[in-house]
Amino acid sequence: MSRLFGTDGVRGIANIELNFDLAYKLGRAGAYVLTQEKNHKPRIAVGKDTRISGDMLEAALVAGICSMGGEAVILGVQPTPAVAYLTRIMNLDAGVVISASHNPFEYNGIKFFDSKGYKLSDELEDKIQEIIETSMESLPNPIGEGVGKKIVIENPVHKYVEFLKSTIDVDFTGLKIAIDCANGASYLAAPMVLKELGAEVVIINDKPDGTNINKNCGSTDTECLRKLVIEIGADLGLAFDGDADRLIAVDEKGEEVNGDHVMAIVAKHMKAKGRLKKETVVSTIMSNMGFEIACNKEGCKVVRTKVGDRYVLEEMIKNGYNLGGEQSGHIIFLDYNTTGDGILTALQLLSVVKETGKTLSELKKIVKELPQVLVNANIKNENKDKYMEDEEIRSAIKRIENEMKDVGRIVIRPSGTEPLVRVMLEGEDGNKIKKMAEELAGLIEKKYS
């Protein structure tokens, strides 16, 4: 069996790749691995986004936890970072989120946090998978009073909102903000915290029905938000993804402001206040070269990792950094939370806007991006790594590298959550790199779809 866990937990089409049986086994094996050294009845938080399949998978997951004698602490629909935070401050043994983040509604996923609110290491994930594959029958089956139960927490969103408000020392009176909740898990918390901080808020896509999460909205499709910002004369717009762990902003001119821009803006501000530890920002190999140039110009060092906010986090913890993230909008403020947090990121960005008195379009100028093209090759899931051993594809990559020497770069990687290989090229000539990326992606797709 191939590796069960991707870059952000177990993910697949609900009721096919991620079915009731697998969710039950993940509940059992996860509860065992994460709490086997505890001397008390384990308590595990369970949160979810707004997908229609969330109820089914929650039932299975909770059954698995309870069958191990654990207490499933039900948080209901919550942003992923809220589950991480609540797991930590409620002194729970672990947390689980049922979400497929930015993916379409038919997908779902299951990701675990440890007692401190951190995503699991590869080693712990592999241990859970090993139990599922080889030793489910050997797990204990408590009876009588040993069987677990579920405990429903009322309105946990208020604790999360109070925490978010505590991370800044300004209010947003006078700011007019448009927000797109992606019909996802931010639909309660994001409007609540912004209104309580004094902002005038205009909201779209805050009516989840189980099937409209991320549908033509949110951080992966900002067209409606960009139009709204212009129409209402907003100071800026904020777009979250389905589980609210990422943010893409929109400036007052209706232009997108991605994670690279946001990180550079807040890094400069944090450094000026003496709050940027080791004057370093952690990003991934996908961040634009313009981002690194901008940070260096401001006296900030950039450290790059593999794609995935979990790898950014590992680097931050290992070397004592407190700011890191991805171009896609996953940004981690380790002084406050243990995972990417879209609403927290929004508050930090808004604080810079308020404190500097500058528009977001002015602040955005810190990064002058090189043209960057990303093309997806749709292939069979089992073939995602085969391109690396294909001589024809390797030769094509080598030709592109030689042609782009000193004026750009190429990054090719299999998606951690979807049956895709992503081909990214960066260089001075946008049309040229687009053509090269499309040709290479086409070759990979032709051979392995």
- Which of the residues are catalytic? 101
Residues 6 or more apart whose Cβ sits within 8 Å of residue 14: 51, 53, 56, 57, 106, 107, 108
Angle of CA points 135, 140, 142, to nearest 5°: 155
Placement of tokens 């943010």 in the chain: 247
Dist CA 161 CA 163 (whole Å): 5
Cβ atoms 213, 272 nearer than 8 A: no
Cβ atoms 326, 284 nearer than 8 A: yes
Tokens found for residue 264: 């550079």
**Torsion 354-360-363-369 (CA) sign:** positive
Q: Which amino acid is at 220?
A: T
Burial environment of residue 385 by CB neighbours within 10 A (0 to 12, 13 to 18, 19 or more): exposed
Dist CA 352 CA 359 (whole Å): 10
Nearest to 447 by CA among 400, 390, 382: 390
Nearest to 326 by CA among 275, 282, 293, 381: 282
Q: Which DSSP letter does residue 113 get? A: E
Dist CA 350 CA 356 (whole Å): 10
Cβ atoms 41, 148 nearer than 8 A: yes
Dist CA 340 CA 326 (whole Å): 9
H or E, element range at 23 = helix 20-35
Cβ atoms 388, 379 nearer than 8 A: no
